[in-house]
Amino acid sequence: MTATVIDGKEFAARVRGQVAEHVDRLKADHGITPGLAVVLVGEDPASQVYVRSKGKMTVEVGMKSVEHRLEADTSEADLLALIDQLNKDAEIHGILVQLPLPKHLNEDLVINSIDPAKDVDGFHISNVGLLGTGQKSMVPCTPLGCLMMLRDHHGSISGMDAVVIGRSNIVGKPMAQLLLNDSATVTIAHSRTKDLAEIVRRADIVVAAVGRPEMVPGDWIKPGATVIDVGINRLDAPERGAGKTKLVGDVDYDSCAAVAGAITPVPGGVGPMTIACLLANTVTACCRANGLAEPE
Ligand code: NDP
């Protein structure tokens, strides 16, 4: 069997197209331009790349993009003051503080100082609680992107056995919650899980969010299962030339694709969906703030 490749790049382009159409309507019918503010503290190279592409795509779909780049030694008080200012800014509908923050800043305190209605990353404790109780919330972008791909591929995932490998607050836990809200039967695995291979072998849906290159081999996968690979790991690739690197996921793509029914590639799977969902969340936040109908 060769798995169907779930093309996240193409799917994300479709989502961004829908976002752009919604933005056009908000401008034309209501004179409103959704605005997204991204706050970056410090010079982490990977974060700089993410922030740049978020800003570029925000502008491409017709929204207002605001970037605040702060020095690595910015004080907590100054960062909180900026967030307070953005909370009060009527032209800003979404606020994202790029993680990780430098060590001297309290991440929980900072995230929980964002107005939950503008928390387009869905990390504020209120949004976590709303999601956990099945209420309307802001949903974290990466798991939301995974859910959209699963719904698109399967129609319904009700009753399916799902295993999420990883229990982080930003991916694993909200992913499990979303699968549960869609009536899958969910197992969450982590570094202390016993017999991981056996647990994964039972799953109709496997979501790998571990951060360990190619950890999941094909012989853990139930034939026909759907594999969603969240992992982004950069490895040296001397075969591509001196000093070259490549990105791989948390699953061993070739052996898993030989057994799975469907699989997301890395790159070009979950990654592009994350930014598309951030843009979609910003439009949702803007509609809610203005008492307008939300996108589907
Ligand atoms: P974290 O490091 O926060 O969490 C990793 C999780 O994996 C932990 O729960 C950990 O368990 C678990 N784990 C570690 N080793 C094992 C093991 N041997 N067996 C089973 N479970 C294990 O990572 P994130 O959730 O932030 O990210 C996961 C991956 O997803 C990374 O590669 C990251 O780069 C990628 N990512 C991709 C995004 C995208 O847009 N595509 C967005 C965000 C992340 P324990 O809790 O017990 O320590």
* Superfamily grouping for domain 141-271: NAD(P)-binding Rossmann-like Domain (3.40.50.720)
Distance 166 CA to ligand 1 centre (A): 5
Residues spanned by CATH 3.40.50.10860 within the chain?
30-115
Distance 209 CA to ligand 1 centre (A): 4
pLDDT for position 144? 98
Of 230, 264, 281, the residue with max ligand 1 atoms within 8 A of its CB, to mutate for a pocket test, comes to 230
Q: Which of 98, 119, 177, 182 is catalytic?
A: 98
Pocket flag, ligand 1, residue 171 (CB < 6 Å)? yes
* ipTM at complex level: 0.99
> How far is it, in rounded angstroms, from Cα 184 to Cα 156?
9
Contacts 24+ apart (CB under 8 A), 200-205: 200/163, 200/165, 202/161, 202/163, 203/161, 203/162, 203/163, 204/160, 204/161, 204/162, 205/150, 205/157, 205/160, 205/161, 205/162, 205/163, 205/179
pLDDT for position 93? 98
Residues spanned by CATH 3.40.50.720 within the chain?
141-271
Which ranges of the chain have pLDDT less than 50? none
Are 123 and 238 a contacting pair, CB within 8 Å? no
Determine the atom of ligand 1 nearest the C-alpha atom of 210: 7
Pocket flag, ligand 1, residue 145 (CB < 6 Å)? no
Q: In what order do the strands lie in the sheet with 35-41?
A: 64-70, 35-41, 94-97
> How far is it, in rounded angstroms, from Cα 30 to Cα 291?
11
CATH number of 30-115: 3.40.50.10860
Token pair belonging to 23: 């933005």
pLDDT for position 1? 64
Distance 292 CA to ligand 1 centre (A): 36
229 given a catalytic annotation: no
- pTM for the whole thing? 0.97
98 given a catalytic annotation: yes
> 165: annotated binding-site residue?
no
> How far is it, in rounded angstroms, from Cα 200 to Cα 206?
7
> How far is it, in rounded angstroms, from Cα 141 to Cα 219?
30
Beta bridge partners of 92: none
Single-letter amino acid, residue 188: I
